[in-house]
């Protein structure tokens, strides 16, 4: 699915369907960061609705290594993207709620 999303040959509706499928899987399973990381790295290619899917999937990795990938969108010009980045960080933080994750939230005390 990630190959479909990153392909330059696919129509937008195909890319959106693939991202939706990835996000749907993320509601039931922990997604592997090696699958989602390249999508976040290529985020500049996506318009805000598609980027929202990428950030939702990033939160479903529950990986500490996903924190910097999500944090870079906290200052995005679109409020929906900032909210999705916050949600992704919240999902990751929830997984590690019994241990501190430094830098996961910029305003949180260390």
The pLDDT tens digits of the residues spanning 41-56 come to 898 889 999 999 999 9
Instruction: Quick: pLDDT tens for 2-21.
Output: 667 777 778 889 989 999 99
Question: Looking up tokens 């040959």, which residue turns up?
Answer: 9
Q: What's the predicted TM-score (pTM) here?
A: 0.80
Report residue 57 as tokens. 């999937």
| Angle CA 68–70–73, to nearest 5 | 110
Using the Cα atoms of residue 71, residue 54, residue 39 and residue 28 in order, give the sign of their dihedral. positive
| Angle CA 84–10–60, to nearest 5 | 30
Give the per-residue pLDDT at 102. 60
Give the per-residue pLDDT at 53. 94
């Amino acid at each position: 699915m990630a190959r479909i999303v990153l392909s330059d040959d696919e129509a937008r509706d195909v890319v959106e369907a693939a991202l939706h499928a990835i996000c749907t899987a993320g509601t039931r399973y922990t997604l592997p960061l090696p699958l989602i990381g390249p999508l976040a790295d290529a985020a500049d290619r996506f318009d805000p609705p598609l980027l929202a899917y990428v950030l939702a999937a990033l939160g479903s990795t529950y990986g500490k290594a996903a924190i910097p990938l999500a944090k870079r969108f906290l200052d995005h010009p679109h409020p929906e993207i900032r909210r999705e980045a916050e949600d992704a960080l919240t999902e990751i933080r929830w997984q590690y709620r019994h241990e501190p994750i430094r830098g996961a939230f910029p305003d949180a005390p260390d």
